[in-house]
Amino acid sequence: MKKSLMYLLLASFTILFSCGGNDDDPITDPPASESSWKLGSYSYNRGASSQGNSGGLGGMTVTTSGDGGNHGAYSGSSLTVVFQASLGAGKYTLTSSSVMSANPTVRYMALTCAVGTAVTSGAVSYAATATSGGTADVTIDANGKYHVHITTPVTLQKTLVTGGGIPGAPDTYNLTVNNAY
């Protein structure tokens, strides 16, 4: 029951942040190409993003646009990041949403990466788990926007398959993130 509640919470944040619009200021934000992530051997560039705070949690959803990297079944990707906003900038340990929620005074971060979002054949989501380990650096820019960096690869576990998924998608993938915002 508790695990289902955590997945529902994470899905709610995905919807909340992805529907929040994009109010990026083109004068002060770096170009989208300076914001990217790599899942396994697939590289993705930021196309759009949304950030917000709700119930003490902060987070963002960052997505690709267009063909999403033109990676066949792996085309298109999104990152969803959730953490305790009150803890501010700093180094966060990647873990499951249930561990993060149970420890509101610890810098834990829940992270999900979906692939196959630009195709109609199906998608797969990978998430940090209670044993993923790894860290993410969170900074806050002059406009109050969060930026997330993961320089040392962290292993994510396959957690959700939608629309038939991606045939042959592995159970785990390593993720790095360059300036997701």
Q: Please tell me the distance from the alpha carbon of residue 20 to that of residue 5, in angstroms, as a whole number.
A: 22
pLDDT given for residue 133 in this prediction: 84
Query: Which pLDDT belongs to residue 151?
Result: 97
User: How would you class 2 by CB atoms within 10 Å of its CB: exposed for 0-12, middle for 13-18, buried for 19 or more?
Assistant: exposed
- pTM exceeding 0.75: yes
Domain boundaries, the chain: 39-180
What would the DSSP string read from start to end of 56-86? TEEEEEEE--TTTT--GGG--EEEEEEEEGG
Q: Under a CB-based contact definition with an 8 Å cutoff, are residues 136 and 94 in contact?
A: yes
pLDDT 10s per residue in the chain (181 long)?
A: 334 333 334 444 443 333 333 444 443 454 556 899 999 999 999 999 999 999 889 999 999 999 999 999 999 999 999 999 999 999 999 999 999 999 999 999 999 999 999 999 999 999 999 998 899 999 999 999 999 999 999 999 999 999 999 999 999 999 999 999 9
Strand 146-162 and strand 135-140: pairing? Answer: antiparallel
